[in-house]
Structure formats: structure tokens, C-alpha cells
Amino acid sequence: MIGLPNSVPTVAWVALLATLLALVLLLRLTIKYAPIIGQKFEERPFFAPLRVSPVETGQLVEFSTPDGLRLSGSYLRARTPERAGVFVYCHEYLSDRWSFHPYVDPLRDLGFDIFAFDFRNHGASGYEAGYSPMHWASDREVCDLRAALAYLRSRPDRDPAGFGLFGVSRGGTTALLVTPGERDVWGVITDGAFPTTGMMVSYSVRWTELFIKSPLLRGLLPRWLYTLLARVGRRRAERRLNCRFPEVERAVARLAPRPWLMIHGQRDTYVSPDVVQDLFRHGNGPKELWLVPAAKHNRCRECEPEAYAARLVGFLQRFAPRRPVVAPAPAPPPLAETRAELTGNYTAELEAPKLAGEVLQPAEIQLG
């Protein structure tokens, strides 16, 4: 007891010194590694986007975004006497609206109208100079989807029950970002959607071995530090790219009461199942996660076509405002589809207006 008064200041000084050392280490790590993470954030992976040669184009329409771009879309009516609802299709990065066909065209036999549109700098939609689209969903894609919903509300045949959203990969991420702010969206289906921060944290953990050689130091780094570095790196990328990449995790936490069907490939090496399951845990309200065992990124439909269709029908039977037609009509002949293999460094091409138009236009596919 006699030494206690002298020991208290010593403990306080040790605690203060430890805190200062931790802050210095945190500052050093942020200054050194956040720019590296930001640079990695700006790298585009090589995708093989789905391309489909259109035969039935539906009603071709154009509509404007709040920032003045003209976007192009197609409205295709259900192949049933009565309409059960309307689905909005959001295509993947580097694809276009015509990829709706293998994913959601069968829903027309169940009574659903389909509205598919091209995001900016894709397909037949307008080109924004100075904006280079990425695989991450940005505020531009969010703006485009909101403009599509505003257009649908302006149609004389608008559905008072609202809309369902179906999105693939980045299109699915965009659908998740938009849904909480749109009261007339009654449900969302995603295939291959992924978070922003969660993906960067996952990448950061993988990259740590390349930049931090000490296993002891790597083992001491808490997960919140990876999250901090990912967010700082993302902010750096936003300033350089002149756009924002909203937090998908925050959006899915506000999905309720809308139902969410999340489809993902168990063998996806780009977006690991762990990242997907973590994003799914953030969601509230009715939700279902289907991991397709043999599927890679955006390949679930190709691996399990019958089970895929059954999942969609089951979701609609439970949650659509008006139940789908029980006995679907005979499906029309399938369209020719392929995945356009991209080679070389197309990052520079996307930044050049002339070449961007060439890269992002749908590939011509001959029907056999």
C-alpha cells in the first residue's frame, strides 16, 4: 500500500506512451498503405461480360437522368393475358440490356413485364466524358437506376404495385443500393452482387503478405484496421475518379421490409463466399441466400438452369404483390449468347471517348 501513490502515475505514463505508440503506428500504416489500397481499388479485373444478340427488342424508349444524360431502354410486355408485375433488369459491368433474356425473359411467361436499360457509357446509352465505369457500383449507376424507376412511374401503364429489381454482379449491387430509398420497390433479386468495403477488406488481408513481411505484425493487426485502410483508400480513389462508391453494407441493412433473394457461386474466386455471407448477414427483413456449389462468378444460371428457374418462381410466389401464373406458357426459342472475352489492358480504352464506345457496344453474334 505504501508504494501505491507512486505506482499510479507510472501506470498512467505507460498507458499514455502505449497509446501514443499505437497512434503513431496507425498513422504510419495509414499513410503508407492507404494509397496502395486506393491504387488497387482502381484496378479493373478481366471480366467476360454476357452478350446476347437481340431479336425481340420490345418498345424502345429513351429517358433522361438528373444530370442530363439520355439513357436507352426496352420495355417488353408479359406473354400472359394479365400482368402480374414489372421487373427492372440491371445488367453487369461491360454488358448491356440485352443480357436480360437468359435471366428474366422467362418471367414474361409468368405474367411479368420486363424493363431493361443500358447504364451510362454502356450499350446505346449516353456517354459521360470524364467518367470511366468500373466494376464497383458508383453514384452514377445509382443515378441511372433511379432515373429508370422515375421513367416507369411516368408511363400511362405504370404498375401501382411498384417494381421488382433483378441485378447481375454490379447491376445487383446497384439494385441493393437503390432499393432502400424507393418505396415502390417491393423486392430485389441479385446474382453475383458484392459489397464495396467488404471486398476491399478481403483484398487487403490477401495483400498484407506482400507489403508487411513480418508475420508477427500481421497477426497483431485487428480487422477494424483493415476496414479503416480500405475506407481511406476508397476515398482516395473517389477523389481521383470524381465519383462516389456508396457503402453496400449500409444499404442492405435498410432493405426491410423488402424481400431479398441473393444468388452466388460457391466457386466464385473473384467474390469469395465468405464476403457474400458477410454481406448477407448485414441484411434484414425476409432474405434468402442460395450458394450454387459448382458455379463461378455470374455462372449460377448456366450451372443450374432448372433450379435457378425454380428459385425465382418460389420467390415470386411468396413475395410478388400479385402471384405469378402457375402454368407458364411455352418458352420462345433461346437467343444466341456468349461471353465476350476481353484481352489486354482495356483501362486506357475506357478513358478514351472513341474507344470506350467501341469497347462497350454489344458484340455482334450471328444466330445459327
- The pLDDT tens digits of the residues spanning 260-287 come to 999 999 999 888 899 999 999 999 889 9
pLDDT grade, residue 343 (50/70/90)? Answer: very low
Please tell me the CATH code under which domain 50-196+246-326+336-360 is placed: 3.40.50.1820
The identity of residue 322, as a single letter, is R
Label residue 295 left, alpha or beta by phi (over 0 means left) and psi (-120 to 50 means alpha): beta
DSSP characters over 58-98: -EEEEEE-TTS-EEEEEEE--SSSS--EEEEEEPPTT--GG
- Indicate whether 249 pLDDT > 50: yes
Q: Which pLDDT score is estimated for 359?
A: 31
CA-wise closest residue to 236 among 45, 24, 42: 42
The model's pTM:
0.80
> Which residues are within 8 A (CB) of 93 and not within 5 positions of it... i.e. 6 or more apart?
47, 49, 133, 134, 135, 169, 170, 171
Domain ranges of the chain: 50-196+246-326+336-360, 205-244
Angstrom distance (rounded) from CA 30 to CA 14: 24
Q: What is the largest CA-CA distance in the chain?
A: 95
- What is 212-255 written as a DSSP string? ---HHHHHH--HHHHHHHHHHHHHHHHHHHTS----HHHHHTT-
Query: Mind listing the pLDDT tens digit for each residue in 279-318?
Result: 999 998 899 999 999 999 999 999 999 999 999 999 999 9
Dihedral of alpha carbons 312, 315, 320, 324, sign: positive
What is the per-residue pLDDT across 210-222, written as a single tens digit (0 to 9) for each? 556 666 665 666 7
> In which region does residue 30 sit, left (phi positive, over 0), alpha (psi from -120 to 50) or beta (all else)?
alpha
pLDDT in tens, 190-238: 999 999 888 877 766 665 665 566 666 656 667 767 777 777 777 888 8
Q: Which of 304, 312, 201 is nearest to 248 (CA)?
A: 201
Give bridge partners of residue 117 from the DSSP assignment.
Answer: 73, 90
Separation CA 69–CA 345 (nearest Å): 27
